[in-house]
Structure 1
Amino acid sequence: MNILTVVARIEAKQDQVQLVKAELIKLIEPTRKELGCLQYDLHQDNERPELFVFYEGWQSKALLQAHLGSEHIEAYLKAVDGAVASFVISEMTKIG
């Protein structure tokens, strides 16, 4: 099985770190229960606490897209509106 690896990098605005962190943590439990979710781990940078990274594994791009359209992602986006400085999703394939 080819696993779709996703790295999502979220940078909170300096004065919004706690809000963004709390909202990101809320995503973990419902996402791990989603069809096709193999891994969904949240990390926070040790030197730059405003920087968060999700390391994810999905069975397919279609199931990732379903996740991105889920109610909990929609609720997260509303909750952090204006609190995130940057958000980048990279879809990757393991080569070694």
Structure 2
Amino acid sequence: MSKPLTIVARIEARAGKIDQVNKALLKLIEPTRQEKGCIQYDLHQDNENPEVFLFYEIWESRALWQAHMNNEHLKVYMKETEGAVESFTLNEMSRID
């Protein structure tokens, strides 16, 4: 059996677009937590730089995470935040202990 996949996704909103990005990100939580293979899906916001959001995710497998990435609610998020995101960084990681 393969190890679970950890995803760390960092989203930085453009100046003046924090609320727009925040609302769109919050809409992702419940449907994603219901998806097959989702073990953990938590959204965080930086305490000193509110433009910065971070998802910490754990998935049963990379294949199930990739299925998540093609879901309709992510397509809606992309439309809702078009032009509002300054940067996006995603790391696929594996726990090593």
Are residue 85 (structure 1) and residue 86 (structure 2) matched?
yes
Partners of 2:95 and 2:66 in 1: CA distance: 19
The runs of 5 or more residues in structure 2 that have no matched partner are none
TM-score by length of 1: 0.98
Partners of 2:70 and 2:79 in 1: CA distance: 13
Q: Which residue does 1:4 correspond to in 2?
A: 5
Partners of 1:64 and 1:89 in 2: CA distance: 13
TM-score by length of 2: 0.97
| Cα drift, residue 14 of structure 1 | 1.2
Partners of 1:87 and 1:14 in 2: CA distance: 15
- Count of residues in correspondence between the two structures: 96
4+ aligned runs moved over 3 Å, structure 1: none
Q: Which residue does 1:31 correspond to in 2?
A: 32
Residue type matched to 2:44 in 1?
H
State the secondary structure of the residue aligned to 2:35.
coil
Identity, % of aligned positions = 57
Partners of 1:4 and 1:15 in 2: CA distance: 33
State the secondary structure of the residue aligned to 2:6.
strand
Q: CA RMSD in A?
A: 0.7
